[in-house]
Structure 1
Amino acid sequence: MKKQVIVALALSISAFSFAQKKELKAAEKAIKSNNYAEAKAALNQVTPTLSSIDDKYKSKYYFLQAEALYANGAGSAEDVNKAIESLSMVDDSMKGEVAELTSVMQNSFLTKANESFTSGNYKAASTEFEQLYNMVPADTTYLYYSAVSAVQDKDYDTALKHYITLDELGYTGITTEYFATNIETGKEEVMSKENRDLFVKAKSHNKPGQRVTESKQAEITKNIALIYVSQDKSEEALAAIKKARQQDPENIDLILSEANLYLKLEDTEKFSALMEEAIKQQPDNPNLHYNIGVIALKNKDFEQARASFQKALVLKPDYADAALNESTTYIDEGNELIEEMNSLGTSAKDNARYDELRAKKTSLFDQGADALIKYIEKNPNPEPNIYQQLINIYNATGETAKSKEIQAKLDAAK
């Protein structure tokens, strides 16, 4: 009785295997006819019994599944990712077939990715470069280009994920670059070593050479930091910026990013120190002097603020915001005197002190007006807010005739 059960079971397994082989052949035939939907349907019949299939047929299954999902380049991004995963499940018994399909897929993705990037379709380019990386993990350059494409697409979450992976892998991007000068155009062209040697031999190019490209590690760390900044993740951003600055200490973008982070954290002392560091590198950058002035004004360091705004105006004479803020330093300093003026009594000593403070306040307001007048002399058609601030000063000092004169100019400019 036991023998009959064993025989029956054996016959059942044999029939089962026969059905699996039949579906695999059907899938293979459908793929050859470019009928990928039919191939998927046949493979779906095999999927539930995959655990019982022989290893050689299991590899065949995964290979056919990869072909069906890839669909000769027509598969969706999701299907293509599954196809890549399926290929990784094929054992060495089909090493040649896998290499051939991988080569076809790789060339197709590379062509598509380059076309997508060149045409400005950065979302597609990022996906296609990532697929290339998933297919050939050893070539981390593809992941780098996927990150770059994601940045262009403003998909910072994807870019950050890729940059962190690259950083963890120690990716440098350092390569040997071969080049030669096109004799007809006079332009240097980068190419493979084989093509360079061929063109030089054909005398269409000359001045052959090679060079080692710069490491991309500092760039990657910088981009990680800048993305964290854009996401308001201050602690992560500061840690990344410090690491990036160790690699590239004189990078002005990193210095300014770190300064802005400290400004967000209301650490004006560190902000100012970093801005001074930036100014040492770019002493003729008016925006750097202006930003130093803004923080000094906020801290009521009026002399430092004025000096910074005046320097910005020397470098950029039409810098309206700098002129307005230079004027504001005098107004704010004058307004600082009001509290003491209001606290004084009616004694002769207090009256004398009041007159002294009032004269100083008026003098400061006059200097605030003079700063704007000097700006208008150099910029005859200023922004309306320049006129408006001047009107406000004249109204505060009781110079109504001057106020009306400037108001007329403001009305005419509208």
Structure 2
Amino acid sequence: MKKLVTIIGALLISVSAFAQKNEIKTLEKALKNNNYSEAKTAAMAADALVGNMDDKTKAKFYFLKAQALYANGQGSDKDMDAAVASIDDLKELESKIGKKKYTDEASTISSNILSGLLTGANDAISAKNYSNAAEKFEMAYALSPKDTTYLYYAASSAVNDTNYDKALSIYLKLKEMGYTGISMGYYAINKETGEKEQFGNKTTRDLSVRSGQYIKPTDEKSSSKTSEIVKNIALIYVAQDKNDKALEYMSEARAENPDDLGLLLSEANVNLKMGNKEKFKQLMEEATSKDPNNAELIYNLGVLAAEGGDVEGAKKYYQKALAINPKYTDAYTNMAVVILDGEQAIVEEMNGLGTSSADNRRYDELRDKRTSLYNEAIPYLEKALDLKQNNIDAARTLMNIYSAVGETEKFKAMKQRVADMEAGN
């Protein structure tokens, strides 16, 4: 019985070896005829037998499988991924057995795949297909892990695709890796055109200078992308409403780049979202000191002052914003609003008065005070309507004010204008 089992085992091994050779021969023949579809089918069939292959056969199979999946550059992204995995298996195996029969040829396939991925990624960016670009750059990084810039490009593409979850995971990985993006650029001036040109490497640049066609060689180090990465992490957390995380990374980013006004404003806005109005005001004032001619910054300080009940402070900021930008519609509108906010207290006091002589005198004083508010607000509302012709809120407010101050003709004209706006004319 034992002898019979041994014979059966030998027969099974023999059949398995025959099947391996048969599938690999089919695979080789299909590749020789450039029939990549058939080659891929044969490779998948042989895959089931790889566990029983000896190292020599296994190395050959990994190489042939990579060729089948690569399909002379015509394979799908999924096939390219699988081809790269097969090449990795080959390199690991030949390194272990100490004989690199197929590694060099396989490396050529890897280089071709990498080149194709980068070309495809750039084409995808040109076509605004950022999702595909991100995938291809990630695949390029997986193929060439030393080129971490591909991972950075993948994150940038994911941001353009508004796939913030993907972008965040890549940015966090880059940060963990300590990626800076700093690289050395090699430049020289083209004698014929006078233009400064960049070269792929120092050797090529130096040879070009020696040829006499280029002069004034320079080596220039690029700036670090660390603060940009941390900033983007923070902004993505803002978009995800993870405000505590956002502030944590913003603090780090600002420490690295304290003059980044955009980051400062982002931190201010996150604090406002969280209800930290004092911190918001502090950051906005810091931003204003860095960019004193930024009308929008000053306008926002006016909004904050108005929300805090500081009417005079709000007026001051709005006036300053208008001095910088005389066509700032919202500043005119908000100036009128903050002026007219004083009306409510006046009306409440008027309604609470009695009929005595003193009350009548006070009523007249308050009426004149309200008219004065109206007259102060009118120029700002008129300017806001002049700058934005379809501003129906400004038009309605003006209509009511004209009626209250006795400007009959202006009231009639504005009433008609409001009616036209409501009718869509």
Q: Same fold (TM over 0.5)?
A: yes
Gap change, CA 1:193 and 1:289, over 3 Å in 2? same
* Separation in structure 2 between the aligned mates of residue 277 and residue 38 of structure 1, nearest angstrom: 68
* Separation in structure 1 between the aligned mates of residue 7 and residue 164 of structure 2, nearest angstrom: 62
* Amino acid in structure 2 at the alignment position of 1:298: E
SS in 1 for 2:71: helix
Aligned residue in 2 for 1:95? 103
Cα shift at 1:215: 0.7
Aligned residue in 2 for 1:24? 24
Aligned residue in 2 for 1:164? 172
Gap change, CA 1:382 and 1:120, over 3 Å in 2? closer
Does 322-331 or 336-345 show the bigger shift?
336-345
SS in 1 for 2:258: coil
Cα shift at 1:315: 0.8
Checking the alignment, whether the CA contact within 8 Å between 2:43 and 2:68 is kept in structure 1 is no
% identity of equivalent residues: 45
Aligned residue in 2 for 1:124? 132
Aligned residue in 2 for 1:361? 370
Checking the alignment, whether the CA contact within 8 Å between 2:130 and 2:160 is kept in structure 1 is yes
Gap change, CA 1:64 and 1:337, over 3 Å in 2? farther
Task: Say whether residues 1:176 and 2:184 are aligned partners.
Answer: yes
The TM-score with structure 1 as length reference comes to: 0.89
Equivalent positions of 1:385-396 (< 5 A) are 385=391, 386-396=394-404
Which of 118, 122, 128 pairs up with 1:110? 118
Cα shift at 1:322: 0.8
Which of 377, 380, 383 pairs up with 1:371? 380
* Separation in structure 2 between the aligned mates of residue 135 and residue 172 of structure 1, nearest angstrom: 20
The TM-score with structure 2 as length reference comes to: 0.87
* Amino acid in structure 2 at the alignment position of 1:242: S
* Separation in structure 2 between the aligned mates of residue 134 and residue 209 of structure 1, nearest angstrom: 33
Does 350-359 or 77-86 show the bigger shift?
350-359
Checking the alignment, whether the CA contact within 8 Å between 1:384 and 1:410 is kept in structure 2 is no
Cα shift at 1:114: 3.1
Does 231-240 or 306-315 show the bigger shift?
231-240
Cα shift at 1:382: 5.2
Gap change, CA 1:204 and 1:151, over 3 Å in 2? farther
Task: Say whether residues 1:258 and 2:264 are aligned partners.
Answer: no
Does 312-321 or 93-102 show the bigger shift?
93-102
Aligned residue in 2 for 1:8? 8
Task: Say whether residues 1:202 and 2:211 are aligned partners.
Answer: yes
The one-character-per-residue Cα deviations of 1:139-182 (angstroms, maximum 9, x if unpaired) are 11111112222223333333222212111111001111111122
Gap change, CA 1:135 and 1:241, over 3 Å in 2? same
Aligned residue in 2 for 1:37? 37
Cα shift at 1:120: 4.1
Cα shift at 1:210: 0.7
SS in 2 for 1:317: coil
* Separation in structure 2 between the aligned mates of residue 42 and residue 53 of structure 1, nearest angstrom: 15
* Separation in structure 2 between the aligned mates of residue 300 and residue 336 of structure 1, nearest angstrom: 13
Gap change, CA 1:185 and 1:304, over 3 Å in 2? farther
The one-character-per-residue Cα deviations of 1:242-294 (angstroms, maximum 9, x if unpaired) are 22112212211111111121222232222222111111111111111112222
* Amino acid in structure 1 at the alignment position of 2:247: L
Aligned residue in 2 for 1:220? 229
Cα shift at 1:346: 4.9
> When the two structures are aligned, how many residues end up with a matched partner?
411
Gap change, CA 1:339 and 1:76, over 3 Å in 2? farther
* Separation in structure 1 between the aligned mates of residue 28 and residue 363 of structure 2, nearest angstrom: 100
* Amino acid in structure 2 at the alignment position of 1:157: D
Cα shift at 1:410: 7.5
Aligned residue in 2 for 1:229? 238
Aligned residue in 1 for 2:145? 137
Task: Say whether residues 1:189 and 2:197 are aligned partners.
Answer: yes
SS in 2 for 1:88: helix
* Separation in structure 1 between the aligned mates of residue 413 and residue 15 of structure 2, nearest angstrom: 104
Cα shift at 1:87: 2.2
